[in-house]
Amino acid sequence: MSNSMKSNRSMLKDFLASISVMHGDLSNITAPPFVLGEYSTVELPQYWGDHPDLFIAPALEPDAARRAVLVLKWFLGSLKNQQYAGRSESEGVKKPLNAFLGELFLGSWKVNGVKRNPNGIGDEEPSETRLISEQVSHHPPVTACYLSNAHHGIHASGFTQQEITFSGTVSIKQKGYAVLHIDRFDEDYLIPVPNVKVKGVLSGSPYPELVGKYSIVSSTGFVAEIQFEGKGLLGSGLKNGFEANIYNSGQNSSRRHEPLYTAKGQWSGQFGIIDCKTGDEIDSFDAATAPSNPITVSPRNEQDPWESRRAWGDVLDALDRADMKGTAEAKSKVEEGQRRLRREREERGEEWKSVFFGKYARDEVFERLVVADRDREGSFSVDFHSGIWKVDMDAVGNATKPYHGGLVPHGRGAARESAVDGENKSNGLDRERRQERELNEQGDDSNQELHGDPEDQSRPSSAQPAQEDVEQSSGQLEKIQIEEFLRSRYSTPNK
């Protein structure tokens, strides 16, 4: 291991050990700068599709019980890359950038042709699976996602919202769900978003562990009940371990609790699926070795200004150069622009309008399927005040660039930016002072999920003014990075 890697690991271990005994407020903690990842949280839904064959497989299976097995396999087989953001366990974790309101991530995968099975389902024509991910709310943060392969007629739409608590350990409660629909069978599946705990804090090697009991419910009556267990405090149990059983809830009461299939193993490693009647293993998957199919996105210069990798382009370039000062400046530009846009909307009495998703008070599919979970511990938590987010199929088919007209994420068009810069100069506000102010505001905004929106409350009278030297700015950036790391790195997918 290189000296740099050893130093980074030691710094992270010391930092995590210090926060493990703290409760709530992390505002005084300075963190190592290397934890920031070169991607945004709005990109995380891509890992529901980076095994394209798993996603389309249920659409090619004529037997309803076997389809339930394949949906479970896709769900479990996608969790590792979701939780580790496509990285190996040995590479450790990185904190994504917090997605801003309206941020988009658009991409697709090419899927090879599938030979027809004995029932005549499938063809050898290649197809495409398409992903649309959008940050639809900032307070609270909500990400919505749509994953679709039109050729095979399989589609998933969902959303997720997080609540994070700090009490010696980090706990992430997920709110939301997804609905998977298969056209050929007019069949729906209700998909949960599991809660997460961060373990391994004291050892300096943090890792995600899914916790709780959840159900995947199908409209044909099959229910997959999943128990995430993981490793216990005394070393018992299996890291990232789980056991799942599939039942036919439509059977008579004497048999409805007899499992038809059982899956067991590690969602970050190998698991097998057993036919309970014969005892035979009918399928298996190894998430640690299965090759992923990276998503294809447009070149950065062809993307819409609101697409993630273009909007954060200067930040990503600075991170690639390991330029922390440049990272802070570029990140501040986007975040200050977002605050400016929010103030302007409030002044005009306008609400933000998402491009690809709409907010609803009810979802009939959810209401119809969730009743099958009534005698369990409650797989689905939904904040109805924040709304239910569903894909707008008209927008999917017809929305064109530029998605927000002349509006850009940093809040200025070229002409307006020039005018504002001229006004700032005439008022004697030089570039260095503007960057200092933006970095100070950036720190406040980055803490809004822990301490509230800085625009909604007064700053404490004891707050210290921002330091003008580069060393202090870097320290502030480090604090911001780790707080965001703890809030968003271990997010669960939006389907």
Three-class DSSP category at 349: coil
pLDDT in single tens digits along all 495 residues of the chain: 555 555 555 655 565 555 555 554 343 333 344 567 889 999 999 999 999 999 999 999 999 999 999 999 999 999 999 988 877 776 655 778 889 999 999 999 999 877 766 666 777 789 999 999 999 999 899 999 999 999 999 999 999 998 877 666 778 888 999 999 999 999 999 999 999 887 776 666 778 899 999 999 999 999 999 999 887 666 678 999 999 999 998 766 666 779 999 999 999 999 999 999 999 999 999 999 999 999 999 999 999 999 999 999 999 999 999 888 898 899 999 999 999 999 999 999 999 999 999 999 999 999 999 988 855 667 899 999 899 999 999 999 999 999 999 999 987 654 344 333 434 433 433 444 444 444 444 444 444 433 334 333 333 333 333 434 444 444 455 445 555 555 554 444 444
- Domains of the chain: which residue ranges? 1-453+464-495
Residue 91 class from Cβ within 10 Å (0-12 exposed, 13-18 middle, 19+ buried)? exposed
For residue 363, which of 225, 192, 158 has the smallest C-alpha distance?
158
Q: Rounded to 5 degrees, what angle do the CA atoms 169, 39, 439 make?
A: 80
Three-class DSSP category at 263: strand
Q: Write the pLDDT tens digit of every residue in 43-101.
A: 999 999 999 999 999 999 999 999 999 999 999 999 999 988 877 776 655 778 889 99
CA atoms within 13 A on the CB side of 245: 12
The verdict on domain 1-453+464-495 having CATH code 3.40.50.300 is no
Q: Amino acid identity of 339?
A: R
C-alpha to C-alpha distance for 443 and 27, rounded to whole angstroms = 9
For residue 407, which of 269, 321, 277, 304 has the smallest C-alpha distance?
304
Query: Which residue shows structure tokens 């000296």?
Result: 3
Q: Amino acid identity of 411?
A: G
Phi, psi dihedrals of residue 252, rounded to the nearest 5°: -65, 160
Three-class DSSP category at 265: strand
Q: Write the pLDDT tens digit of every residue in 112-121.
A: 877 766 666 7
Alpha-carbon distances, residue 92 vs 35, 265, 384 (angstroms):
9, 22, 35
Tokens at 41, concatenated: 């949280």
Give the length of the chain. Answer: 495
- The alpha-helical segments, DSSP class H, found in 427-469 are 431-446, 448-451
Torsion of CA 443, 446, 451, 453, to 10 degrees: 100
Tokens at 12, concatenated: 């992270």
Tokens at 53, concatenated: 């064959």
CB 254 within 8 A of CB 247: no
Three-class DSSP category at 50: coil
